[in-house]
């Protein structure tokens, strides 16, 4: 029997982080399956950095990104590049993760070639197709043509069922981001700001819906928290997007207890999360990862496709209103009514670090290949 070939497609840093443990897992079974890893280069430098944390390099790099490129422009480039690669490599299945433009277009290219597409982190939804934009459209669209859906939680699986996805196509696995964060945390030294005796507050913000005035409001609230609590250092990894950087720098640069830093490599970012006392973020991945370390998260959005953390009490939706951010941040930093302890001691709902094993088992079973089984819902 000819070995099936899996093509893994990544485009951004989160894609790389959450796909890397899946690639590593499949390559443990190289006698059963061939693998090829493709980068579209949507976030080129940050993506390669993330792959290196798992000793991976892309077999192909489409290098699609140019300055000032439109969504339509990058979509067209990715589609043309992937179509050519699919034609030459002839994979038996393509796998993408999450809700990026790369993930959507990889699925579309597979659909056009009538090749099965496996969607990792399937079933995340918000009520509004423009929030977040374009991610909510991307993940809904992928749901229409994916052959295998790997939702991370029971809630995301139920979303797929409501949309008419057949039960035999849905496999709840946990989130591969937890696989990645646990592996990294267990193999990396805690060294971020070890010389700072006080607390660290981490701020990450990059989502398109927060660009401009909302991001200024976020920055002003963070500055007020620094001025209110003299024992905290605010750490701000700045996204590569110039618009994001300029907005944050205009408000936060120059304060002696604010560190404006380049995006750390993934291993350093994991230790930075571990070192943090509180995280302010609009990142979906951080919402999932921080509860692993018992770090409360204030989500700088009005909606989330990850409501499990909110329901469990590990995260709280607060939007981008300056007064709300300051009030909720001050409440946790002051531990009013033991608010901080309640969030820090809540249980993470996102996984047990075995999602990649479950995905590998299901995909190989799809090809009629038996491999060691991991119970599909073990946490």
Catalytic residue among 13, 43, 44, 135: 135
Spatial contact of 207 and 200, defined as CB atoms under 8 Å apart:
no
241: part of which helix (H) or strand (E)?
none
Q: Using CA of residue 306, residue 64, residue 91, residue 84, what is the dihedral sign?
A: positive
The token pair at 160 is 């797929």
Classify residue 69 by burial, with Cβ atoms within 10 Å: 0-12, 13-18, 19+: middle
- Establish whether 119 is a catalytic residue: no
| Top-level class of domain 199-344 | alpha beta
Which of 113, 161, 208, 331 is the catalytic position? 208
Active-site pick, 239, 277, 358, 360: 239
Classify residue 88 as exposed, middle or buried by CB count within 10 Å of its CB (0-12, 13-18, 19+): exposed
The answer to whether 5-175+351-366 and 199-344 have equal CATH topology is yes
Residue 348, pLDDT score = 84
- Output the pLDDT for position 210: 86
Q: With CA atoms as reference, report the closest residue to 13 among 269, 236, 323, 356.
A: 269
Residue 137 phi/psi, 5-degree rounding, is -60, -45
* 208 counts as catalytic: yes
Question: Read out DSSP for 306-350?
Answer: -HHHHHHTSEEE-TT-HHHHHHHHHHHHTTGGGHHHHHHTSPP-S
List the catalytic residue out of 121, 282, 308, 328. 121
Active site residue 206: yes
Positions of the chain with pLDDT under 70: 1, 43-45, 186-194, 375-379
Domain residue limits, the chain: 5-175+351-366, 199-344
pLDDT in tens, 91-100: 999 999 999 9
pLDDT score, position 62: 93
Q: How many other β-carbons are positioned within 10 Å of the β-carbon of residue 303?
A: 16
Measure the CA–CA gap between 379 and 310, rounded to whole angstroms: 18
**308 catalytic per annotation:** no
34 annotated active-site: no
Q: CA-CA distance, 266 to 243, in Å (whole number)?
A: 23
Q: Which of 206, 277, 358, 360 is catalytic?
A: 206
CA distance 265 to 257: 22
For domain 5-175+351-366, give the CATH superfamily: Glycogen Phosphorylase B; (3.40.50.2000)
Phi, psi torsion values for 264, nearest 5 degrees: -70, 160
Q: 63 an active-site residue? A: no
Among 15, 99, 308, 357, the active-site one is 99
Q: Cα(178)–Cα(166) distance, rounded to whole angstroms?
A: 26
* pLDDT, position 173: 95
């Amino acid at each position: 029997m000819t070995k099936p070939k899996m093509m893994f497609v990544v485009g951004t840093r989160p894609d790389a982080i959450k796909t890397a443990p899946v690639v590593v897992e499949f390559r443990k079974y190289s006698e059963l399956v061939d693998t090829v890893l493709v980068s579209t280069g949507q976030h080129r430098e940050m993506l390669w950095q993330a792959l290196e944390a798992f000793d991976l390099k892309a077999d192909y790099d489409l290098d699609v990104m140019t300055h000032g490129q439109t969504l339509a422009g990058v979509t067209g480039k990715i589609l043309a590049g992937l179509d050519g690669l699919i034609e030459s490599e002839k994979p038996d299945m393509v796998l993408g993760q999450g809700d990026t433009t790369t993930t959507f277009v990889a699925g579309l290219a597979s659909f056009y070639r009538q090749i099965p597409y496996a969607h990792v982190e399937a079933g995340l939804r918000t009520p509004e197709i423009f929030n977040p934009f374009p991610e909510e459209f991307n993940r809904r669209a992928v749901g229409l043509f994916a052959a295998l859906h790997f939702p991370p939680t029971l809630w995301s699986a139920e979303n797929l069922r409501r949309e008419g996805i057949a039960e035999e196509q849905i496999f709840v696995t946990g989130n591969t981001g937890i696989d990645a964060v646990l592996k990294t945390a267990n193999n990396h030294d805690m060294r971020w700001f070890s010389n700072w005796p006080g607390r660290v507050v981490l701020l990450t913000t990059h989502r398109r819906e927060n660009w401009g005035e909302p991001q200024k409001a976020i920055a002003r609230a963070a500055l007020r928290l620094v001025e209110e609590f003299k024992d905290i250092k605010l750490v701000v990894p700045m996204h590569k997007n110039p618009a994001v950087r300029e907005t944050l720098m205009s408000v936060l640069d120059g304060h002696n207890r604010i560190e404006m830093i380049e995006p750390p490599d993934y291993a350093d970012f994991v230790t930075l999360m571990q070192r943090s006392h509180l995280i302010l973020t609009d990142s979906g991945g951080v919402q999932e990862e921080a509860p692993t370390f018992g770090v409360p998260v204030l989500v700088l959005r009005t909606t989330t496709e990850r409501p499990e953390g909110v329901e469990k009490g590990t995260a709280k939706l607060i939007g981008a209103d300056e007064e709300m951010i300051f009030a909720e941040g001050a409440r946790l930093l002051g531990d009013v009514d033991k608010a901080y302890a309640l969030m820090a001691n809540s249980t993470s709902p996102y996984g047990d670090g075995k999602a990649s094993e479950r995905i590998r088992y299901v995909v190989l079973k799809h090809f009629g290949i038996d491999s060691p089984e991991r119970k599909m819902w073990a946490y």
